[in-house]
Structure 1
Amino acid sequence: MFYCPYQNFMREAVPKALPTYYRLLNAMPDAPAIDVYINGKLTASNLRYANFTNYFQTPGGIYEIKVYPAGKKTPILIETNLQLMPNSIHTIAAVPNGDGSLLPILEPLSGPTPGYSMVRFAHLSSEAPAVDIILPDGKILFSDVEFKEVTGYIPVPAGNYTIQAKISETNNIILIVPNIKLQPNKIYTVYVVGKPQGTPPLQVLIPLDGSTYLRDDHIGY
């Protein structure tokens, strides 16, 4: 399954003086839709599995974050403090680690290599082993990526791709995703979520990263 919520065209590089932005992702396949409170304020309501919020702007600092089932104040699914540095962009993923935890994923401020797509991989499936991300011809894009690991970016020519997730050091392919369209001058993170066996199944989420998405929507400028 292939999900790509943001498809816009990048106009120019992000300026250096960028406020702090973050968005939230519900990557907990066994959890209900969630409400997220930050410093006691309801920030995201009824955030369903495999969905992102838009980006929020905030000053840098330490934030108290509590996650509940949507519409309820009990039980607390996640309770933690996170530091968001000034002049940064994050995706904060609620991931299935024990009872649940938050994984802040830093995004770049700068634009991509001109004429190329920039791509990285984030492993957010707690039940999946370490994987290699490969092309159908066997070329390895990312190797031995473990749960909660986020790779570095690689530049790839824009175009349509089929990617496969293969259990590392085996020939066992656990996910095939065809027809991924990567546009030039854009930055993507490929998030893998779900379960290799059971429901909901493994799938990828491929949103634009903040330095592309925020510029396209003129947020904060």
Structure 2
Amino acid sequence: MSNKQSFLQKAVAYDLLSSYYKYSNPHLHDYYYHKHLKSLEKATQPMRYEQRNAVAPSYVRILHAAPKAPAIDVYVNEMRILKNFVYKGNSGYLSLPPGMYQIDIYPTGQTTSTILSRKVALESGKSFTVAAAGANDSLKMLTLEDYPYVPQNEAKVRFIHLSYDTPSVDIAVKDGDVVFANLPFRKVSEYLNLYPMKVDFEVRTAGTKDVALSLPNTDFQADTSSTIYIIGLNQDQPALETLTLTP
């Protein structure tokens, strides 16, 4: 997605939120309408990029999001960094020099045959989540770039669909409009900046009002970037749920 498309998508989402709060909360209505106008402005302007410090470290965390996969051991450049790592486990960020790394995942206690194996490029000054996701016969290792920066006194959130037996979903405000539409398995939404508060979200089957998962009282703290992972199974156990990670 281009930067222009990204800002246009955000402008639509902020417009929906502004309309949602028009009568119930004039302050939030004005806040999101201002964000809507800012996003439209940015969509028509060239992006400016900050230069990153070439010697800044990289940050990477490992997430076990495969509900039917066994406990695993994780090796980075043939060095074990995680042992007996189970479903829903996350390592927290590890600081590494930027460069190319070999990540190998084995069943716990074994080193003969990997479950997953791939090279991952970690760039200077950037943060990444490496997630194992999918059914046992089609596991994938996903490298997801995280963006921890948040404008002062704001919050932001994105959603990542990692439930392999759940069809594409819409993320919506409860009983309200869709914020992120048609998010399929293994795909990532844009970030949405929010006023720090609690929001009732719903995960719906895409294009319908059918609620697959309710997320009541989702709390967004100031100066915090949140990623909400949709994990688990829609038709089996463990059940469909969310896992929220913040830097």
Normalised to the residue count of structure 2, the TM-score between the two structures is: 0.74
The structure that has the greater radius of gyration is 2
Alpha-carbon distance in 1 for matches of 2:143, 2:154: 26
Contact 1:35 1:47 in 2 (8 A): yes
Tell me which of 215, 227, 230 is aligned to 1:177. Answer: 215
Contact 2:52 2:124 in 1 (8 A): no
- How far is the alpha carbon of 1:162 from its aligned partner? 2.0
- How far is the alpha carbon of 1:77 from its aligned partner? 0.8
Alpha-carbon distance in 2 for matches of 1:45, 1:178: 34
Alpha-carbon distance in 1 for matches of 2:75, 2:138: 17
Please name the residue that 1:204 is paired with.
242
Tell whether 2:90 aligns with 1:62: no
Tell me which of 98, 102, 106 is aligned to 2:141. Answer: 102
- How far is the alpha carbon of 1:183 from its aligned partner? 0.5
**Number of equivalenced pairs:** 194
Q: Letter of the aligned partner of 2:215 in structure 1? A: V
Alpha-carbon distance in 1 for matches of 2:109, 2:177: 46
Please name the residue that 2:180 is paired with.
142
Q: Letter of the aligned partner of 1:99 in structure 2? A: S
- How far is the alpha carbon of 1:139 from its aligned partner? 2.1
Instruction: Report sequence identity in percent.
Output: 30
- How far is the alpha carbon of 1:33 from its aligned partner? 1.3
Secondary structure of the residue that 1:170 maps to in structure 2?
coil
Provide structure 2 residue ranges, at least 5 long, that are not aligned to the other structure. 1-50
Alpha-carbon distance in 1 for matches of 2:168, 2:151: 28
Higher strand share: 1
Provide structure 1 residue ranges, at least 5 long, that are not aligned to the other structure. 1-14, 210-221
Tell me which of 62, 71, 77 is aligned to 1:24. Answer: 62
Q: Where do residues 1-221 of structure 1 align in structure 2 (5 Å cutoff)?
A: 17=53, 18-96=56-134, 98-108=137-147, 111-209=149-247
Normalised to the residue count of structure 1, the TM-score between the two structures is: 0.82
- How far is the alpha carbon of 1:60 from its aligned partner? 1.6
Contact 1:29 1:49 in 2 (8 A): yes
- How far is the alpha carbon of 1:64 from its aligned partner? 1.4
Alpha-carbon distance in 1 for matches of 2:216, 2:113: 39
Contact 1:77 1:99 in 2 (8 A): no
Q: Letter of the aligned partner of 2:168 in structure 1? A: A
Q: Letter of the aligned partner of 1:37 in structure 2? A: Y
